[in-house]
């Protein structure tokens, strides 16, 4: 599978990981992420760019509102356990409250954990912080993180704390494998394949040569 992965998002807002296997431009990445650049500055790894800028493995594509000082930001991970994890860029208020608002999540009925520790809405977050909303059930802290997506398309980071199979990961990512080959870490797999910390699960269209 010849493809690259890049990260795409608005600042502040949710960051999507995108897999590209054809056109590798900012334009293609924004289309895959369903984002429109109108009214924003495009930044690739912090430098000004345009829709035709070519992308390479691991680059970050940000749409930045044209306001002075927006380049200074942090990236945190936010999600429910089990469920999809969003990567969020914050450039103003750097609290749990701001991160949850950007991720459109409501903490009601959940325990808030930042990097595994109990927290509240006013807890300050930093570069790389992980914010989980955990259902108040004993044992929920033990989880694995996997990546799930279609090729080409958006990749979701998923936290699993019960069933650790391809089926559970696809359900959490709201993806249907019908008509696709399932690949885990590049190898053929099925819905019952067990997944582990760091596994990558791709749904690949059944086209000769994939």
Number of domains in the chain: 3
How remote is the C-alpha of 37 from its chain's centroid? Answer: 19
Global confidence as pTM:
0.62
113 and 157 part of one domain: no
φ and ψ at residue 112, rounded to 5 degrees: -95, 130
Assigned domain for 81 exists: no
Percentage of the chain lying above the pLDDT 90 cut: 55
38 and 20 part of one domain: yes
34 and 54 part of one domain: yes
Are the C-beta atoms of 133 and 79 separated by less than 8 Å?
yes
- Name the token pair of 10: 């608005």
- Name the token pair of 44: 């690739």
**Between 72 and 52, the higher pLDDT residue:** 52
Structural domain for 100, as ranges: 91-135
Are the C-beta atoms of 43 and 15 separated by less than 8 Å?
no
The Cα 174–Cα 83 span in angstroms is 10
- Name the token pair of 111: 């325990």
**Between 83 and 127, the higher pLDDT residue:** 127
44 and 11 part of one domain: yes
140-178: b (≥16 Cβ within 10 Å) or e:
beebbebbbbbbbbbbbbbbbbeebbbbbbbbbbebebe
Return the H-helix or E-strand segment holding 44. Answer: strand 40-44
> Which residues, 6+ apart, have CB-to-CB distance to 47 below 8 Å?
none
Return the H-helix or E-strand segment holding 144. Answer: strand 144-151
Mean pLDDT within 48-68:
87
How remote is the C-alpha of 70 from its chain's centroid? Answer: 21
Strand partners, 74: 90
Q: Is 172 helix (H, G, I), strand (E, B) or coil?
A: helix
Assigned domain for 182 exists: yes
Domain final residue, candidates 65, 99, 114: 65
Mean pLDDT within 162-191:
93
Q: How many residues would you count in the chain? A: 210
Reported confidence tier of residue 141, pLDDT bands at 50, 70, 90: low
168 and 151 part of one domain: yes
**Between 163 and 60, the higher pLDDT residue:** 60
pLDDT for residue 156 is more than 90: no
Mean pLDDT within 17-43:
91
**Between 55 and 80, the higher pLDDT residue:** 55
148 and 129 part of one domain: no
């Amino acid at each position: 599978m010849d493809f690259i992965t890049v990260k795409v998002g608005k600042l502040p807002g949710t960051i999507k990981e995108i897999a590209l296997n054809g056109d590798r431009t900012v334009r293609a990445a924004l289309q895959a992420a369903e984002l429109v650049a109108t009214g924003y500055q495009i930044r690739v790894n912090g430098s000004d760019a345009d829709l035709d800028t070519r992308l390479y493995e691991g680059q970050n594509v940000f749409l930045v509102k044209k306001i002075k000082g927006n380049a200074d930001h942090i990236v945190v991970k936010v999600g429910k356990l089990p469920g999809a994890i969003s990567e969020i860029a914050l450039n103003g208020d750097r609290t749990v409250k701001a991160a949850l608002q950007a991720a459109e999540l409501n903490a009601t009925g959940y325990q808030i954990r930042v990097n595994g520790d109990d927290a509240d809405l006013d807890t300050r977050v930093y570069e790389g912080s992980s914010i989980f909303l955990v259902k108040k059930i004993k044992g929920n802290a033990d989880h694995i993180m996997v990546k799930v997506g279609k090729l080409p398309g958006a990749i979701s980071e998923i936290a699993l704390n019960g069933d650790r199979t391809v089926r559970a990961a696809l359900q959490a990512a709201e993806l249907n494998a019908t008509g696709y080959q399932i690949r885990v870490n590049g190898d053929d797999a099925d819905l019952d394949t067990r997944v582990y910390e760091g596994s990558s699960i791709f749904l690949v269209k059944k086209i000769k040569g994939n």
